[in-house]
Amino acid sequence: MTLNILRIDASVRREGSVSRELNDKVIDRFAAAGDVAVTKRDLITPLPLIDETWIGATFTDPEDRTDEQTRALELSDDLIAELQAADTLVIGLPIYNFAIPSGLKAWIDLVSRRGVTFRYTESGPVGLLTGKRAIVTVASGGTEVGSDIDFATGYLRHALAFIGITDVLFVKADRLAIDAEATLKAAEAAVAELPLAA
């Protein structure tokens, strides 16, 4: 059975990116264990920010949307289709200035759609993309994952849960500026121990 992986790279660096290198290792681990199909979404190519037209389109029933509103949602539809088709997400998360990169925030905005990836109920929002898991490779120079100044991992965990993805594992290569060798060694060991099945 093929494992469908959606790989998301959020680093603004093509070369020398620890999160990209760790994503490679995660993919290699799954590929060595069985058949995988990988869809790549590289956020180094900027995504558009949501705007008034986009918001208006999401709050308009599909049959009532104008041509402009339909066009405004085309990329969002494509990104959501990638998510829907995936069994596992592999997300590279560099921490920039204590938070997630702007490209990853733009992606989250575009895939968080009322009635498509989440819905509101009397007891609160319910995510619609259930039965998936995410493996997040985190890289930071000085921000320790889980510390008071880490505003990235908690936010991403919450954003994924909001759309229904609650099985989230973090592989951390944090505080690289302090002890890169030990940090990378620990991260690679964590990749080697990742469970192959959700």
3 state SS for 43-109: CCCCCCCCCHHHHHHHCCCHHHCCHHHHHHCHHHHHHHHHHHHCCEEEEEEECECCECCHHHHHHHH
Report the distance separating Cα 58 and Cα 164, nearest Å: 19
Is 76 annotated as belonging to a binding site?
no
Report the distance separating Cα 140 and Cα 133, nearest Å: 23
Is 17 annotated as belonging to a binding site?
yes
In angstroms, what CA-CA distances link 147 with 98, 142, 181?
Answer: 10, 11, 21
Contact 40, 91 (CB under 8 A): no
Please choose, from the candidates 44, 110, 50, the residue with its C-alpha nearest in 3D space to the C-alpha of residue 78.
110
Contact 65, 77 (CB under 8 A): no
Is 123 annotated as belonging to a binding site?
no
* Residue 146 burial (10 A CB sphere; 0-12, 13-18, 19+): exposed
Is 11 annotated as belonging to a binding site?
yes
Query: Can you say which residues are annotated as belonging to the binding site?
Result: 11, 17-19
Query: Can you say which residues are annotated as belonging to the binding site for FMN?
Result: 11, 17-19
